[in-house]
Amino acid sequence: MIPSLEQLLRARSGVLTEKLVRQPGAFGLGQVPARLTPDATTTMVCGFCSTGCGLNVHLRDSLAVNLSADPDYPVNRGMACPKGWEALAPLDAPDRGTKPLLRTNGGELTAISWERAIALFCEKLQAIRAAHGPESVAFLSTGQIPTEEMAFLGALFKFGMGFVHCDSNTRQCMATAHVAYKESFGFDAPPYTYADFEESDVLVFIGSNPCIAHPIMWQRVMRNPHQPAIVVIDPRRTETAMAATQHLPLRPKSDLVLLYGLAHLLLRLEAVDRDFVAAHTTGFEAFADFVRPFTISRVAEETGLAEEKLWRLAGTIAQGKRVSFWWTMGVNQSHESTRTAQAVINLALMTGQIGRPGTGANSITGQCNAMGSRLFANATSLLGGHDANDAADRTKVAGVLGIPEDLIPRQPSLAYDQIVDGIESGRIRALWVIGTNSSHSWVDRNRFNALLEKLDFLVVQDMYASTDTAKRADLYLPAAGWGEKDGTLINSERRIGLIKKVRRAPGEALADFHIFRLIAEVWGCGALFARWTSPEAVFHLLRELSRGRPYDITGISGYRMIDEQSGIQWPLTESQIEAFGKAEETGPEPEPKPEQSAPTIPRERRLFADGTFFTADGRARFVFAEPRPMPEKPDGDFPFLLLTGRGTSSQWHTNTRTGKSDVLRKLYPPDCYLEIHPNDAARLGIAPGATVKISSRRASITAAAFVTPAVQPGQVFAPMHYEEVNQLTFPAFDPHSRQPSYKACAVRVERG
Ligand code: SF4
């Protein structure tokens, strides 16, 4: 039977008030940890993007007052992009959420106590569960919170609260890389280390603009002493393309054809590493047969690229000694993204360009903890990259966590787009959104926002009550942000870095971790999480879960070791520690040391040096399929193709944080703009800076014209950071990763 609100309050409010909420320092309202020296500098990693730069945080009275780039951190070596330098500014924004808010009958959001908020949260969701079953409630989370919070959320939701369907905004950026690696390598395992940027003699960037999207990674390329060939495959003449030695401005979404064509040419050039292929891969002969019809004339015709450019690139790859392939959202956000990512992987495998310095088929991640989400979100795979349908995996996870095995649901979760469809069909009745701004960022956002109206209950947990999504919430829970809590993030090169509490969260905002603890307590499943007492306690549980897995981190003794080592790449097993030299053991609550101990672990480690992959037979797979046509092509009514992507390095996703910095706001245009080719602008009578109307089959928006030859005739580009843009995008999804195809839809452009 579901307890009433009054019963819950009577039963639980004492616990909430005395133990959890009001206790100074315990849950985000009080002091920063005592281990931080009052006036000193501590180090932590940046909480924006997946580069994972190290920052020196300068303290006064134990609170952060400034920061600078860490010269000793192996990722960024003293550099930071504008977002990193301004990372403290969003914490001081005046629109931070300071109290829980409840929508009244009059439609206003009004402040309520945490006791009432959590009691109401549990009462509502329990009532919906009782009426509509365990599939009726879903959450959408984020790649921006620490691994320990992701793990807690996923475990609480599925094992404690008994729900099934959950996903994260990492579906929008990294789901493709996850599935592609898993199918090709046997596990989601980006093989590289950032040193590879400096060690390649050929770097091929596919659908990737690191100058803007990953500027510190680009700085690592600029430090490459080998005068490398830099190839950019991108329809736009991006900042990276301008700096490249070869730019291939292919037709949008012809990348799969191009990559198969390159494989065909590499076969003709006899550039296949036959020894590597024979010893370490499966399926090459079938792949070689498959790419035979991708002749140079066909590929030139379908990609719009001259044959000489194709031969030149194939020759560059064939002659390269250390060739690395890098892809980002231009590949991941496509209607056939998984096979495209695997086409990149196939090139590295057939040429044996993997496992050595300066090589690899390397997915660059987006968010600061997308890698943590891929391992520990407990959404599509069981916590820690396990399989819910594997009895041994269920037994292991239940044993490590100390929970009954039958609490682990075997039913797979719906993906993000399927959760959205579930709202439309009535299958999903309540939605809990944590740290993401779906009302802005989801593809075809007007449909998403209309569907939110159908929900019985929408909860938004975020730093700000002012996001597009939070403004629609029935219940808003104020969350602490980066810098206001402890935890770990995993960057693109698999490096686990530390974040620390160096600021007090404003008002009554709580760390997500502690909101989950409150919910567990009031829901009635607190006993299941009795050992989940702090982020570091959870880290130790996750460490044990990693035992025997490809990402085994049993060699990491705790947060202090991560701190002392300037981050640690996975895997790091106990036996590796033996090999590297015994590392000092530390407990879960380490005391400060007067001096750091010398690093004992190599700072840059890559995977597959021995050619052994994570498949059952240790061999990598060639995976391929026929290209499919773009779902929404330009036509007579909508003759332009709209491309979307990042605008500047000072903007982050939906600008919820970067929009709070006076400095960052000066570094990007305040209003939406549309890049259009000069020929098209002249034909339509559009002057630079003029207002243009952009229409798709879903909506019309206006923007300022940015007339530039960076885009090709017939194509236009708009940055995703402006809330208008996803009104236009077309909801097509890769069938394997279910990642949305943001990059290509048909639009009409007119003078505004
Ligand atoms: Fe580094 Fe990314 Fe932070 Fe910029 S946003 S400082 S590149 S981690």
Indicate the pLDDT class of residue 358, thresholds 50, 70 and 90.
very high
Q: How much is the pLDDT for 464?
A: 97
Q: For the full predicted model, state whether its pTM sits above 0.85.
A: yes
Measuring from atom 6 of ligand 1, which residue has the nearest CA?
84
Residue 28 has pLDDT above 80, yes or no: no
Measuring from atom 2 of ligand 1, which residue has the nearest CA?
49
Residue 589 has pLDDT above 50, yes or no: no
Task: Report the separation in Å between the CA atom of 471 and the middle of ligand 1, taken as the mean of its atom positions.
Answer: 28
Give the tens place of pLDDT for each residue, 430-457.
999 999 999 999 999 999 999 999 999 9
Task: Report the separation in Å between the CA atom of 652 and the middle of ligand 1, taken as the mean of its atom positions.
Answer: 10
Q: How much is the pLDDT for 733?
A: 97
Q: How much is the pLDDT for 327?
A: 98
395-404 contacts at long range (C-beta below 8 A, 24 or more positions apart)? 396/545, 397/545, 400/541, 400/544, 400/545, 401/155, 401/159, 401/528, 401/541, 401/545, 402/528, 402/531, 403/159, 403/528
Residue given tokens 């943001």 in the structure block: 742
CA–CA separation, 270 vs 281, rounded Å? 18
Task: Report the separation in Å between the CA atom of 650 and the middle of ligand 1, taken as the mean of its atom positions.
Answer: 10
Same domain, 209 and 82: no
Average pLDDT over every residue of 100-126: 97
Give the tens place of pLDDT for each residue, 35-68.
567 779 999 999 999 999 999 999 999 899 999 9
Q: Are strands 63-69 and 165-168 parallel, antiparallel or unpaired?
A: unpaired
CA–CA separation, 489 vs 47, rounded Å? 8
Question: Is the CB of 51 inside a 6 Å radius of any atom of ligand 1?
Answer: yes
> Sheet containing 229-233: which strands, arranged edge to edge?
246-248, 229-233, 202-206, 323-327, 360-363
Q: Which atom of ligand 1 is nearest to the CA of 82?
A: 4
Question: Is the CB of 83 inside a 6 Å radius of any atom of ligand 1?
Answer: yes
Q: Is residue 370 part of a domain?
A: no
Phi, psi (5° rounding) for residue 750?
-135, 160
Indicate the pLDDT class of residue 351, thresholds 50, 70 and 90.
very high
Measuring from atom 3 of ligand 1, which residue has the nearest CA?
84
Computed over every residue of the chain, the mean pLDDT equals 92
Give the tens place of pLDDT for each residue, 182-206.
999 999 999 999 999 999 999 999 9
Q: Is residue 185 part of a domain?
A: no
Task: Report the separation in Å between the CA atom of 364 and the middle of ligand 1, taken as the mean of its atom positions.
Answer: 13
Give the torsion sign (CA, 513, 519, 524, 525).
Answer: negative
Q: Which atom of ligand 1 is nearest to the CA of 214?
A: 7
- Residues forming a β-bridge with 54: 45
Q: How much is the pLDDT for 36?
A: 66
Would you list the DSSP string of 21-87? Answer: ISSTTTSSSSPPPTTS-SSSEEEEE-SSBTT--EEEEEEETTEEEEEEE-TT-TTTTT---HHHHTT
Q: Is residue 123 part of a domain?
A: yes
Cβ contact 384:545 at 8 Å: yes
Same domain, 141 and 60: yes
Task: Report the separation in Å between the CA atom of 83 and the middle of ligand 1, taken as the mean of its atom positions.
Answer: 6
Give the tens place of pLDDT for each residue, 496-508.
999 999 999 999 9
Q: How much is the pLDDT for 3?
A: 39
CATH of the domain at 56: 3.40.50.740
Task: Report the separation in Å between the CA atom of 493 and the middle of ligand 1, taken as the mean of its atom positions.
Answer: 14
Domain boundary (364, 391, 406) is at 364
Residue 524 has pLDDT above 60, yes or no: yes
Residue 19 has pLDDT above 80, yes or no: no
Burial class (CB within 10 angstroms; exposed 0-12, middle 13-18, buried 19+) of 398: middle
Task: Report the separation in Å between the CA atom of 81 and the middle of ligand 1, taken as the mean of its atom positions.
Answer: 5
Task: Report the separation in Å between the CA atom of 396 and the middle of ligand 1, taken as the mean of its atom positions.
Answer: 36
Ligand 1, from 44, 57, 209, 216: best to mutate by most atoms within 8 Å of Cβ? 216
CATH of the domain at 227: 3.40.228.10
Q: How much is the pLDDT for 39?
A: 74
Window from 26-30, 418-422, 600-604 with minimum mean pLDDT: 26-30
Count of CB atoms situated within 10 Å of the CB of 477: 27
Residue 461 has pLDDT above 70, yes or no: yes
Same domain, 71 and 152: yes
Q: How much is the pLDDT for 227?
A: 97
Q: Which residue has the higher pLDDT, 591 or 415?
A: 415
Same domain, 358 and 399: no
Domain boundary (534, 552, 583) is at 583
Could you tell me the residue range of the domain that residue 89 belongs to?
1-164+383-583
Q: Which residue has the higher pLDDT, 18 or 302?
A: 302
Q: Is residue 378 part of a domain?
A: no
CA–CA–CA angle 192, 195, 200 (5° rounding): 85
Same domain, 210 and 141: no
Same domain, 248 and 288: yes
Q: Is residue 372 part of a domain?
A: no
Measuring from atom 1 of ligand 1, which residue has the nearest CA?
53
Q: Which atom of ligand 1 is nearest to the CA of 368?
A: 8
Report the share of the chain in percent with pLDDT over 70. Answer: 93
Pick the closest to residue 194 from 358, 361, 369, 367 (CA basis).
358
Residue 210 has pLDDT above 50, yes or no: yes
Number of domains the chain contains: 3
Cα 372 from chain centre? 9
Alpha helices in 200-251 (DSSP H): 210-213, 215-222, 239-243
Cβ contact 204:255 at 8 Å: no
Question: Is the CB of 206 inside a 6 Å radius of any atom of ligand 1?
Answer: no
